[in-house]
Copies of this chain bind each other. A is one copy, B any other.
Amino acid sequence: MNRKAPNRRTRAKQKRLSADDRRSEFVTKATELFAEEGFAGGTRALARKLGVTQPLLYRYFPSKDDLIKEVYRKVYLEPLEIGWEKLLSDRSRPLRVRLQEFYEIYTDAIFTRKWLRIYLYSGLKGLDINRWYVGMVKDKILTRILRECRHEAGLAVQSRPSAAELELAWVFHGGIFYYGVRKYIYDAPVLEDKAQMISDALDIFLAGFEKIAENSADRRRVPIKVIG
């Protein structure tokens, strides 16, 4: 890359990175390794990916578990950098458009082989961070979506959605999520146009929302407003 030392011998492996660089390189490559092999992936295989020896890992992490925790942190916090609060709640734009854009961006972030596999592996281990993430999806995404849907439909906006409504949103959300699982975990053929898949799923969800909402609530209601 950079040839700041032109007379330097070309070494197959450049060693002696700075501590911070080496540490983050461990995390990066560990994410790749664990995504493929699961957390049973060995520390020696990891070191081989870096071109270093295995004990070096323990200069940077007290144990393999600590490395794994670091991988969790990185993976689980990655999709949070989107800033969906304002995206979902910006009522100056049509709800349909907001939802479409949100899910396109959100799935761009999490529909990678790496992310999905780490997520499922950690989910199977039943870790707290996984439950935390699920709770965050519920509070920060689904609850917000439901609130906007109720507002759009002219229904009373309650602070917390009913269990049935929430389940409705979960099934919708899970259906989209499972698209990524089929594509990147199962390697199964899917509809290539992800945006259309989201659009179709949204059509169905929005069309059916009121129908369920009126059953769960006591109120009768007004027809859905037409999108622009």
Contact = CB atoms under 8 A, between A and B. Distances in A.
Interface string A177-190: 11101100111101
Interface in A193-211: 196-197, 200-201, 203-211
Contact of A179 (B171, B185, B201, B208): B171
A1 interface: no
Contact of A124 (B117, B164, B205, B207): B117
A126 B120 CA distance: 13
Contacts of A19: none
A211 B207 contact: yes
Given A163-B191, A164-B191, A182-B174, A211 B227 contact: yes
Oligomeric state, in number of copies? 2
A227 B203 contact: no
A185 B215 CA distance: 29
Q: Which of A135, A170, A175 has the most CB of B within 10 A?
A: A175
A85 interface: no
A185 B227 contact: no
Interface residues of A, number: 55
Nearest to A138: B188
Nearest to A206: B224
Given A211-B207, A227-B207, A227-B223, A179 B188 contact: no
A178 B186 contact: no
Interface in A43-86: none
A99 interface: no
A46 B38 CA distance: 21
23 contacts: A126-B185, A131-B186, A163-B191, A164-B196, A167-B200, A168-B201, A170-B175, A170-B190, A171-B176, A171-B197, A171-B201, A173-B178, A174-B174, A174-B178, A178-B178, A200-B212, A200-B215, A203-B212, A207-B211, A207-B225, A208-B208, A223-B226, A224-B226
